[in-house]
């Protein structure tokens, strides 16, 4: 089980707001051709979206330094489409693999890597937004 922190479920909206801020930053970075910034913002956007869903559904979020723990907690979260959740977890792991190169490596990321990160994020974002909407209906 992942290291977690208890968070009041109503705080999920704060993580949605944070994720949307990172989403806007990612779009601006893409428009400017800033591949590293786009990927970094995409990663943080995805993490905040995952936190939003796990806080809403479980009342907890990952507190580990390793963001892979957020993916583990997402796997533990019941969703309406478990097979899609599995695909989203794979996309999240692919995205997380680009975090270190985007933020710390001595090489610059390519446009293709940035486009791949944005595509992964869009799949993650769509799935989690749908799950959050379903939670609000129930």
Tell me the pTM: 0.93
DSSP state of 11: G
State which fold the 4-137 domain adopts: 1.20.120
Distance from chain centroid for Cα 60: 15
Q: What is the pLDDT of residue 68?
A: 87
User: Which position has the token pair 């190169």?
Assistant: 101
> How large is the angle between the packed helices 35-58 and 68-76, nearest 10 degrees?
30
User: Which position has the token pair 């533990």?
Assistant: 76
Q: Which two tokens stand for residue 127?
A: 């799935």
The domains of the chain are located at 4-137
pLDDT in tens, the chain (138 residues): 458 899 999 999 999 999 999 999 999 999 999 999 999 999 999 999 999 999 999 999 988 777 888 999 999 999 999 999 999 999 999 999 999 999 999 999 999 999 999 999 999 999 999 999 998 754
All residues at 6 or more sequence positions from 58 whose CB lies less than 8 Å from its CB, including other chains: 73, 76, 77
Strands (E), the chain: 4-6, 60-62
């Amino acid at each position: 089980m992942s290291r977690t922190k208890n968070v009041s479920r109503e705080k999920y909206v704060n993580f949605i707001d944070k994720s949307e801020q990172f989403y806007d930053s990612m779009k601006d970075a893409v428009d400017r051709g800033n591949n590293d910034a786009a990927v970094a913002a995409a990663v943080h956007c995805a993490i905040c979206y995952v936190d939003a869903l796990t806080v809403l559904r479980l009342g907890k979020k990952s507190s580990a330094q390793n963001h892979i723990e957020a993916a583990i907690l997402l796997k533990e979260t019941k969703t309406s489409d478990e097979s899609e959740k599995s695909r989203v977890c794979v996309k999240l792991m692919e995205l997380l693999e680009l975090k270190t190169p985007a933020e710390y490596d001595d090489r610059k990321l390519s446009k293709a890597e940035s486009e791949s990160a944005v595509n992964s994020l869009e799949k993650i974002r769509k799935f989690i937004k749908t799950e959050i909407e379903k939670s609000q209906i129930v």
